[in-house]
Amino acid sequence: MPRQAKLIILISTLLFGLFACSPSPQPIATSTFVPPTSTSTPIPPTITLTPTVTPLACLTQLGRVGSGSLDTTHPPQQYLIYLPPCYDQRTDLRYPVLYLLHGQTYIDDQWVRLGVPEIADKLILSGQAIPFIIVFPDDRYWNLVAGPGFGDRLINYLIPYIDQTYRTLADRQHRALGGLSRGGGWTVELGFKDWQLFGELGLHSPAIFTEDAPYVANWIAAIPPASWPRLWIDIGDHDSELGPTRQFENILAGMEFPHEFHLFSGDHTENYWSQHVEEYLRWYVQGWLPQDKNTPQP
């Protein structure tokens, strides 16, 4: 055999032996998870390898809107309700609740048509808001004389029913009330008279009831300063309710009641409200910070 061929065979043999004796770069411990052997310290029973599989899976899904009716009231109190992503899976959690009241001549779907559920999904799924429930009470019987009024049905029947039926955080700190137009008028009356129930009030182009005007200052004065709710007011610069809303805001300023007042461009229409729905929801959720282990996390 030629000397050159013998030399090549010798070098190849040496290289093969060198690599055969060296550790392979593929099964490096840092790149592959190795389950603990029977001699390893056991994992505590309170820990699992996949503690968030269910929440992460359901957080790829949207919340849902359902409906209900309280037939114990006259007329029956109907409502729509938004339940956030993971509500059905995370049965260990309880949620803040936002009650949104619609305007006159409309029904409980007005806020839904304005895009509230979609924006709530966006904020929750992106981690910009903790999950929360939204209730849309129906006030379609606003022109009926007979039977208890909407305010009575909401305060004495619907809110207790929602707290008993759904996994709410049933305290003032985690319950907000807001409304547009006539719903804003109801928010003024119920939010200040029944201040023990609500930690946040949102007035969106409020049509404050004429009969309530003489009492508003007294209602506000009766609230202990330590219990003043967070308060938001907004209205369009061409809104027919701008004058009364300005007067109401002056009362608040005179009593040094903390509040936000926003004068936007627009009038008293759904087009105006739909432009600001996301601002509204972002404001409401700012007041809800996790307080304990039962408060849902983003």
Report which secondary-structure segment, H or E, holds 268. Answer: none
CATH number assigned to the domain comprising residue 129: 3.40.50.1820
Residue 153 lies in a domain: yes
Q: Let me know if residue 78 belongs to a domain.
A: yes
Instruction: Using CB atoms within 10 Å of the CB of residue 95, give its burial: 0 to 12 exposed, 13 to 18 middle, 19+ buried.
Output: buried
Looking at residue 56, what is its pLDDT? Answer: 58
Q: Which residues of the chain have pLDDT under 70?
A: 1-56, 145-148, 290-298
Q: How many domains, in total, are found in the chain? A: 1
In a domain, 67, yes or no: yes
The per-residue pLDDT for 59 is 80
Give yes or no for a contact between 188 and 215, defined as CB atoms under 8 angstroms apart.
no
Sheet holding 260-264, edge to edge: 64-70, 77-83, 133-137, 97-101, 175-180, 200-204, 230-236, 260-264
Residue 154 CA neighbour count, 13 Å, CB half: 25
How much is the pTM? 0.80
Would 192 be classed as within a structural domain? Answer: yes
Q: Is residue 30 part of a domain?
A: no
Question: For residue 209, what are the domain limits?
Answer: 53-286
CA–CA distance, 298 with 295 (Å, rounded to integer): 10
| pLDDT given at position 108 | 97
Counting every residue written for the chain, the total comes to 298
Q: What per-residue confidence (pLDDT) applies to 74? A: 86
